[in-house]
């Protein structure tokens, strides 16, 4: 074949390849376009479905109720705590600057001014100005600015619901709410509501209050220029308040006047007259005569009740905090409080007195008491005389480190509940390796430390809890896993203050939490040790009725969470009773003669926080003591002694009651050296324990597990390791984790981990060393 023929052949092959490539590219593009089309369809359908799902979005609040100005009343149980015949206790007054004015009393100039500057097509749209909305969305995507474009109807909804979330979802919800609101109410009703609740700066809500404050007159007496000055404030009340920024208000006022003129709402002559007045306008700043200035100071219970009802109203009506507060003051609610007036008086008087706390005026406290069904009986948010309403509440809102009070809730309760631990199980009172998270290694990274700086080896769980030993709690917490503790507190006991960072060994075992917990949360958690293992969310009111007698909030008949089994509750109750009555119990200062008391103390690292939470047959109560700015406490006994003072006075005229225990919990002697049940051949080193009869330990055979003593040194009165250590006894230099097995359970053998450095009690870090790493309890 000639060369030229070969070239022709090669060329024809090349053209074929090009066509093949072209076909491949075409098919690929077609595939990509098809995928994009299908994806677009799916996205469009999903978006359409989402939008369609919001079409019935409404604001669950009656606009007509906005004009109510009825006084709300609080009722409490009658004499002898008779809930069937409540008596009026207190009415709620407010010093807020809010005065309602009807539509026909608002001058046309005021209505025109607000419409001109805020929503000039208000009288013609159906709740949404689609032209402005489209323009706002275009601006959002082109310039990245906020949406804007809200109508008066939409702004009213935002003010009532308090929903200020900057998101497309919120905007879509707001659009449908506005459309549905305008189907239900007239333009006049919507504009009246708007003019009466919108913020007009300097604490004014509504045009009547604004006219009172800025001009010393009623709104119906305000002229065009004055109405424009008020209307201009709404865009930014802080910026355009005439008492704070008169020059900025004048600029905005003149913008409003120009809009009114351009839209034909005022004549040329009226415009020129108003502009001239604007140049020399005076603002008087006179307070409204309708404002109640002498508001009575509530007690701490009413304070807490107010906040609880407010939260309930916000949830029920999907409204803002400000709207809920407005309802509390003006909607004529009937609030049936759960307060025990006797206990509230005792608690407040005790915390006002210096008899318990001495002369240290700066030492603070937060206290709360409740029964075993969640009813809050009394609460006090701080020491001393209460001088204002709704200040910081150290019992319900302030978060503090709980120290060792967390141990029964986060460690020992779940451990007994697991069935792997019993009243007398041997636990390993020795430090864990890699305790601190600072990356350090060696002897200083073993922890946690006990208050006395020594460890006791393998001892009965009862001893560990009675003496509040940190190392024991950490070992048990590690064995059941911090995740179990964390989830138990959140899911079973309603803790909301925990954060993910708390889900590790230190916080769950001994209370060094990231943000702390409230006295209310902790006390509610201890309910389960006196009521068969149930958790009830604490409440301060039985129910709340509206002005027409309809029940709108109701705490009656609340269904509890079975946090732990009834048998676990009874075993833990016995363990916590030892904390108060035991020879080495850290809570002995809370014991009340003639009454059974259970409880737990807690003291944080450097002794900056001191707690006691405990119960009598009538109530469970918790108290925190410390300083507003954490500082070292010279006396950590105030918590228990104050708890005792309040509870003893409360109980002094009560009929004697006793706790009831689960019938499946039985008592039996156990060998303190093995934790196993004693028998006739056991030596004299035995104590009485309490057990679920379906989960009894094995019986001791008279020979100690592992062939020798199960602990290195028995703690005695001369070497107590209580939270306020009262002895200086030394531990054996052989105080290392005992790795020998025992027959208790696999969980107990899991208490033993890698051995600490030799003579670990001598190498234990000082308080200052521990402080440099993290917050750790002192006991």
Specify the CATH number for the domain of residue 219.
1.10.3810.10
Which residues, listed in sequence order, are joined to residue 544 by a DSSP beta bridge?
A: 335, 553
334-337 vs 72-78, strand pairing mode: parallel
Longest dimension (CA), the chain: 127
- Whether residue 102 sits in one domain with residue 49: no
**pTM given for the model:** 0.72
Q: What is the pLDDT of residue 179?
A: 87
**Of 700, 738, 181, which Cα lies nearest the Cα of 459?**
738
What parts of the chain have a pLDDT lower than 70?
1-19, 42-60, 95-98, 135-149, 164-168, 170, 286-295, 437-444, 682-683, 702-779
**Of 491, 499, 554, 555, which Cα lies nearest the Cα of 525?**
491
Alpha-carbon distance of 247 to 310, in angstroms, equals 38
Are the C-beta atoms of 657 and 618 separated by less than 8 Å? yes
In a domain, 25, yes or no: yes
Which residues, listed in sequence order, are joined to residue 337 by a DSSP beta bridge?
A: 541
**Of 196, 200, 190, 187, which Cα lies nearest the Cα of 106?**
196
Alpha-carbon distance of 455 to 139, in angstroms, equals 68
Beta strands in 238-382 (DSSP E): 334-337, 364-370, 376-380
- Whether residue 112 sits in one domain with residue 37: no
- Whether residue 209 sits in one domain with residue 115: yes
Q: What is the pLDDT of residue 74?
A: 96
Q: What is the pLDDT of residue 740?
A: 29
Distances in Å between the Cα of 242 and the Cα atoms of 202, 250, 483 are: 9, 8, 56
Q: What is the pLDDT of residue 775?
A: 25
Alpha-carbon distance of 470 to 404, in angstroms, equals 8
- State which of 235, 256, 279 marks the end of a domain: 279
- Whether residue 49 sits in one domain with residue 178: no
Q: 3-state class of 153 per DSSP?
A: helix
Classify 408 in phi/psi space as left (phi over 0), alpha (psi -120 to 50) or beta.
alpha
Q: What is the pLDDT of residue 171?
A: 75
301-338 as b/e: b if 16+ CB within 10 A:
bbbbbbbbbbebbbeebbbbebbbbbbbbbbbbbbbbb
- Whether residue 175 sits in one domain with residue 46: no
Domain holding 255, by residue range, is 97-279
In a domain, 533, yes or no: no
In a domain, 153, yes or no: yes
- Whether residue 106 sits in one domain with residue 46: no
pLDDT in tens, 75-93: 999 877 877 789 999 988 7
- Whether residue 271 sits in one domain with residue 169: yes
- State which of 248, 279, 310 marks the end of a domain: 279
Alpha-carbon distance of 774 to 760, in angstroms, equals 20
Q: What is the pLDDT of residue 330?
A: 86
Q: What is the pLDDT of residue 138?
A: 58
What are the start-end ranges of the H helices in 527-615?
566-581
The two three-digit tokens of residue 223, written as one number: 């002229």
**Of 312, 20, 59, which Cα lies nearest the Cα of 163?**
59
DSSP string, 85-135: EEEEEEEE----EE----GGGS-HHHHHHHHHHH-TTTTTSSS--HHHHHH
In a domain, 411, yes or no: no
- Whether residue 250 sits in one domain with residue 120: yes
Query: How many domains are contained in the chain?
Result: 2
- State which of 279, 304, 323 marks the end of a domain: 279
In a domain, 187, yes or no: yes
Alpha-carbon distance of 773 to 14, in angstroms, equals 75
Q: What is the pLDDT of residue 721?
A: 43
- Whether residue 108 sits in one domain with residue 12: no
Alpha-carbon distance of 68 to 572, in angstroms, equals 52
Alpha-carbon distance of 185 to 410, in angstroms, equals 53
Q: What is the pLDDT of residue 135?
A: 61
- Whether residue 202 sits in one domain with residue 112: yes
In a domain, 231, yes or no: yes
Q: What is the pLDDT of residue 705?
A: 36
- Whether residue 122 sits in one domain with residue 45: no
- Whether residue 113 sits in one domain with residue 18: no
551-554 vs 541-545, strand pairing mode: antiparallel
In a domain, 578, yes or no: no
Are the C-beta atoms of 475 and 429 separated by less than 8 Å? yes
Angle at which helices 246-262 and 108-118 cross, to 10°: 90
The two three-digit tokens of residue 419, written as one number: 């069935």
For 170, the enclosing helix (H) or strand (E) is helix 168-184
In a domain, 161, yes or no: yes
Q: What is the pLDDT of residue 716?
A: 39
């Amino acid at each position: 074949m000639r060369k030229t023929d070969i070239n022709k052949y090669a060329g024809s092959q090349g053209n074929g390849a090009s066509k093949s490539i072209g076909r491949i590219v075409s098919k690929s593009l077609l595939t990509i376009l098809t995928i994009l089309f299908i994806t677009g369809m799916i996205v469009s359908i999903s978006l359409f479905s989402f939008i369609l799902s919001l079409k019935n979005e409404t604001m669950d609040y009656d606009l007509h109720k906005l004009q109510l100005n009825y006084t709300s009343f609080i009722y409490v149980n009658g004499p002898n705590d008779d809930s069937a015949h409540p008596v009026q206790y207190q009415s709620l007054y407010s010093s807020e600057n809010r005065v309602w004015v009807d539509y026909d009393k608002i001058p046309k100039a005021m209505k025109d001014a607000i419409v001109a500057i805020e929503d000039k097509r208000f009288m013609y749209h159906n709740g949404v100005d689609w032209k402005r909305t489209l323009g706002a969305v275009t601006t959002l995507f082109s310039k990245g600015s906020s949406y804007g474009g809200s109508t008066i109807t939409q702004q009213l909804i935002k003010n009532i619901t308090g929903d200020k979330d900057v998101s497309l979802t919120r905007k879509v919800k707001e659009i449908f709410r506005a459309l549905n609101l305008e189907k239900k109410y007239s333009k006049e009703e919507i504009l009246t509501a708007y003019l009466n609740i919108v913020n007009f700066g300097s604490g004014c809500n509504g045009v009547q209050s604004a006219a009172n404050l800025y001009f010393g007159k009623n709104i119906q007496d305000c002229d065009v220029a004055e109405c424009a000055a008020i209307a201009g404030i709404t865009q930014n009340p802080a910026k355009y308040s005439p008492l704070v920024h008169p020059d900025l208000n004048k600029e905005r006022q003149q913008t409003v006047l120009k809009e009114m003129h351009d839209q034909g709402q005022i004549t040329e002559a009226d415009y020129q007259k108003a502009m001239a007045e604007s140049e020399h306008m005076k603002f008087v700043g006179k307070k409204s005569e309708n404002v109640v200035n002498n508001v009575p100071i509530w007690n701490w219970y009413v304070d807490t009740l107010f906040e609880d009802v407010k939260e309930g109203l916000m949830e029920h009506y999907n409204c803002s905090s400000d709207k809920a507060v407005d309802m509390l003051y003006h909607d004529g609610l009937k609030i049936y409080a759960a307060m025990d007036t006797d206990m509230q008086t005792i608690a407040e008087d005790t915390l006002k007195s210096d008899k318990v706390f001495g002369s240290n005026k700066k030492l603070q406290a937060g206290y709360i008491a409740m029964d075993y069904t969640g009813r809050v009986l009394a609460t006090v948010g701080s020491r001393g005389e209460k001088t204002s309403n709704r200040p910081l509440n150290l019992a319900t809102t302030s978060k503090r480190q709980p120290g060792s009070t967390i141990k029964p809730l986060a460690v020992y309760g779940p451990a007994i509940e697991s069935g792997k631990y019993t009243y007398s199980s041997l636990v390993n009172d020795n430090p864990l390796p890699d305790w601190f998270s600072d990356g350090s290694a060696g002897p200083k990274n073993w922890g946690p430390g006990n208050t006395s700086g020594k460890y006791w080896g393998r001892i009965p769980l009862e001893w560990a809890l009675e003496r509040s030993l940190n190392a024991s709690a950490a070992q048990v917490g590690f064995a059941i896993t911090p995740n179990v503790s964390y989830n138990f507190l959140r899911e079973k006991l309603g803790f909301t203050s925990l954060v993910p960072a708390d889900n590790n060994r230190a916080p769950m075992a001994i209370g060094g939490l990231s943000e702390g917990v409230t006295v209310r949360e902790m006390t509610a958690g201890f309910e389960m040790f006196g009521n068969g293992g149930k958790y009830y969310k604490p409440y301060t009111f039985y129910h709340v009725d509206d002005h027409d007698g309809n029940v709108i909030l109701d705490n009656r008949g609340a269904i509890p969470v079975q946090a732990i089994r009834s048998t676990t509750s009874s075993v833990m109750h016995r363990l916590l009773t030892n904390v108060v009555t035991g020879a080495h119990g850290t809570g002995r200062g809370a014991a009340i003669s003639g009454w059974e008391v259970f409880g737990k103390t807690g003291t944080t690292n450097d002794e900056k926080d001191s707690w006691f939470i405990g119960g009598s047959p009538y109530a469970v109560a918790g108290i925190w003591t410390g300083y507003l700015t954490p500082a070292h406490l010279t006396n950590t006994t105030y918590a228990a002694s104050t708890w005792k003072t309040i509870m003893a006075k409360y109980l002094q005229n009560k009929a004697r009651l006793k706790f009831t225990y689960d019938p499946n919990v039985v008592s039996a002697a156990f060998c303190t050296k093995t934790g196993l049940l004693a028998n006739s051949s056991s030596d004299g080193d035995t104590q009485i324990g309490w057990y679920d009869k379906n989960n009894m330990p094995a019986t001791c055979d008279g020979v100690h597990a592992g062939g020798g003593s199960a602990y290195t040194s028995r703690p005695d009165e001369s070497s107590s390791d209580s939270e306020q250590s009262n002895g200086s006894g030394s531990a054996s230099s052989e105080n290392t984790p005992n790795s020998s097995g025992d027959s208790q359970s696999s969980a107990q053998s899991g208490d033993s981990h890698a051995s600490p450095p030799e003579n670990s009690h001598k190498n234990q870090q000082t308080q200052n060393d521990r402080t440099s790493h993290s917050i750790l309890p002192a006991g």
